[in-house]
Structure 1
Amino acid sequence: MNINKSALYISLVAAVALVASVLILAGGLRDFRSKGAKTITVTGKAERNFQSDLIVWSASFTAESANLPSAYSELKEKQQAVSAFLNGKNIPSDAISYSSVSISRENESYYDSTVERTFYRFKGYSLTQTVTITSNNIDAIEAVSRQISELINKGIEIESGSPRYYYTKLNDLKIEMLKEASEDAYNRAGVIAEGSKSSLGKLDRSNMGVFQIVGLNSDEDYSWGGSFNTTSKMKTASITVSATYSIK
């Protein structure tokens, strides 16, 4: 009988201890959850359409001759013709620059049937020079790039490249868009917090995403490393901001 009472007493003590442990653990979990950090992370975005304010256009011309001085003399005449053409289009001299002369030795192949082999022999020199125009007068330079055929009609072979377009106030634009993207992230976080019956707290951390420029209304792919379009006069810039806010 005493043994049964002792066993009952031990079982009762163990049960009370177990209940107490469960209550303590539950209280600890509630305290952990109440003290745990509650945050929300959102991504804000800003886009801006803008027009380039700088154009860079280049064209190359070449002279060939078996004699190097003759090739250089011919190239000089072509350069003078190009300068006269640009001056006639009212292009300021400070907008025009010429590269150094590139010289290459040209070879031609011939087949010797007596030994049934192909050989190469010196053909002459090929000299190339590039003229580059940099200007804020985009319309004027675009017109000149289309009128380059006037030189071709005069017997001057010239290879025109496509104009490249830039924006000189890009840093200012980037700062403005960074502010807009941050505001967008804050607004998004506020909407989510309100929807979950919470209130938005302070900013915990923020990171700037990729800044990209593509052609307006183009099908260019966005890149994780960022893209920088130079072929379109009208462009679209975009930037993202990842922000984490506390909620309460």
Structure 2
Amino acid sequence: MQPTSALHGGTFLRDPVTLRWFGTAMIVTLGLASAGYLLGDGLLRAKEAERSVTVRGLAEHDVTADLATWTISYSATSTDLASAQAKVRRDTQAIEQFFDGLGFPDDALQPTGANVSSYTQNGTTQYTVRQRLALRSGDIARAQKAVAQQFDLVSRGVFLEEGSAMAYSFTRLNDIKPEMVAEATRDARAAAEQFAKDSGAGVGAIMNATQGYFTIEARDGDSGGWGVSDSPYKKVRVVTTVNFALE
């Protein structure tokens, strides 16, 4: 008869089958224990990774435009084409004299186009000659003065068409971008620190960040439109989204 396993006098008698079963059971038990530890450690690390806060930072700078552009459009209409052309030439001379009197260099004002159109009504043909000039200058103060005195052209017989208004642009955005991004990031960290303070934590390193678009708008609202110049005073704005780790 084969020996059997039994508890006898505190002694555990083992046969080969029992030993294999026991060994398998121990391996499974140890495996489950190890898996439980790794799972728990992984959850702990995942929880720590989730300890972060995402905030937005804002930076705004008031700037003054460094480029003024003015597209000046004017026209003359007559039943005689030569008369309409002559009137446009006189208007062109008057406009050139106007800007010369304000101290603009000759090359600040350039022709950008001209066209002639006609229509016939009741057997009479009307000719319209249209001319466009463009002023481009970095002298913002002088450009503002020109806008303030633009109705002097009316006294010279020049009638500007709708849309002939000054526009101001800020072209040095790249010069202030780094400073503004840094400022927006500091603003975001300040917001993160307030969140962290409320939760009893500290703010760590930046985990990731996204820079928003830069916008340039009139500082005091949109003042553009016919007869009124755009404002040379601008507000540059950028918003960044930053994810900070919490400690």
Q: Is 1:131 the counterpart of 2:133 in the alignment?
A: yes
Q: Specify the alignment match of 2:206 in structure 1.
A: 203
SS of the residue 1:241 aligns to:
strand
Instruction: Work out the CA distance in 1 between the residues paired with 2:89 and 2:42.
Output: 83
TM-score w.r.t. the length of structure 1 is 0.71
Q: Is 1:167 the counterpart of 2:174 in the alignment?
A: no
- What is the CA distance between 1:41 and its match in structure 2? 0.8
Q: How many residues align?
A: 208
Structure 1 residue runs of 5 or longer lacking an equivalent are 1-22, 111-120, 221-229
> What letter is aligned with 2:181?
L
> What letter is aligned with 2:212?
G
In structure 2, the CA distance between the partners of 1:219 and 1:140, relative to structure 1 (3 Å rule), is closer
SS of the residue 2:213 aligns to:
strand
Do 2:205 and 2:245's aligned partners in 1 also have CA atoms closer than 8 Å?
A: yes
Q: Is 1:31 the counterpart of 2:38 in the alignment?
A: no
SS of the residue 1:158 aligns to:
coil
Instruction: Work out the CA distance in 1 between the residues paired with 2:220 and 2:153.
Output: 34
Instruction: Work out the CA distance in 1 between the residues paired with 2:151 and 2:165.
Output: 14
Say which is worse superposed, 171-180 or 42-51, in terms of deviation: 171-180
Instruction: Work out the CA distance in 2 between the residues paired with 1:171 and 1:203.
Output: 24
SS of the residue 1:133 aligns to:
strand
Q: Specify the alignment match of 1:95 in structure 2.
A: 108
Q: Is 1:68 the counterpart of 2:84 in the alignment?
A: no
In structure 2, the CA distance between the partners of 1:213 and 1:132, relative to structure 1 (3 Å rule), is same
Q: Specify the alignment match of 1:237 in structure 2.
A: 236
SS of the residue 1:198 aligns to:
coil
Q: Deviations over 1:100-119 (max 9, x none)?
A: 102222343x5xxxxxxxxx
- What is the CA distance between 1:62 and its match in structure 2? 0.7
- What is the CA distance between 1:24 and its match in structure 2? 9.6
> What letter is aligned with 1:139?
A
SS of the residue 2:195 aligns to:
helix
> What letter is aligned with 1:59?
I
Do 1:57 and 1:134's aligned partners in 2 also have CA atoms closer than 8 Å?
A: yes
In structure 2, the CA distance between the partners of 1:29 and 1:192, relative to structure 1 (3 Å rule), is farther
Do 1:64 and 1:71's aligned partners in 2 also have CA atoms closer than 8 Å?
A: yes
Kindly report the root-mean-square deviation, in angstroms, between the aligned alpha carbons of the 2 structures: 2.9
Do 1:105 and 1:122's aligned partners in 2 also have CA atoms closer than 8 Å?
A: no
- What is the CA distance between 1:180 and its match in structure 2? 0.8
Tell which structure's C-alpha radius of gyration is larger.
2
Please show how residues 184-223 of structure 1 align to structure 2 within 5 Å. Answer: 184-218=187-221
Instruction: Work out the CA distance in 2 between the residues paired with 1:129 and 1:64.
Output: 12
- What is the CA distance between 1:68 and its match in structure 2? 3.5
TM-score w.r.t. the length of structure 2 is 0.71
- What is the CA distance between 1:208 and its match in structure 2? 0.9
Instruction: Work out the CA distance in 2 between the residues paired with 1:215 and 1:90.
Output: 27
In structure 2, the CA distance between the partners of 1:26 and 1:192, relative to structure 1 (3 Å rule), is farther
Q: In the alignment, which of 42, 45, 50 is matched to residue 58 of structure 2?
A: 45
- What is the CA distance between 1:95 and its match in structure 2? 1.2
